[in-house]
Amino acid sequence: MADIANRYPENVPGKFFVDNQCIDCDLCRETSPSNFTRNDDGGYSFVFKQPTTPEEEAQCKEAMEGCPVEAIGNNGP
């Protein structure tokens, strides 16, 4: 499970985040391209935009549930 204490600093504030367990598999960026992007230098994903629509919310949840290393967290209600 993702740990808020280990979240990458590039994550924008909000409920979804990526922590340092990310293995750069690209699943979240493919599932929710409006919300996740890649840090090319570090080789990991992070949340660059929190979801603002029900569709984006569902995509972020799908990315979180599909993450093979559970690096995506949800720190919100």
- Residue for token pair 């559970």: 70
Residue 49: how many CB atoms within 10 A of its CB? 15
pLDDT tens, position by position, for the chain (77 residues)? 999 999 999 999 999 999 999 999 999 999 999 999 999 999 999 999 999 999 999 999 999 999 999 999 999 87
Q: Specify the pLDDT at position 6.
A: 97
Q: Six-digit token pair at 33?
A: 């391209």
The architecture CATH gives domain 4-74: 2-Layer Sandwich (3.30)
pLDDT at 76: 81
pTM metric for this prediction: 0.95
Query: What does the pLDDT read at residue 23?
Result: 98
Neighbours of 58 (CB within 10 A): 13
CA distance 56 to 48: 13
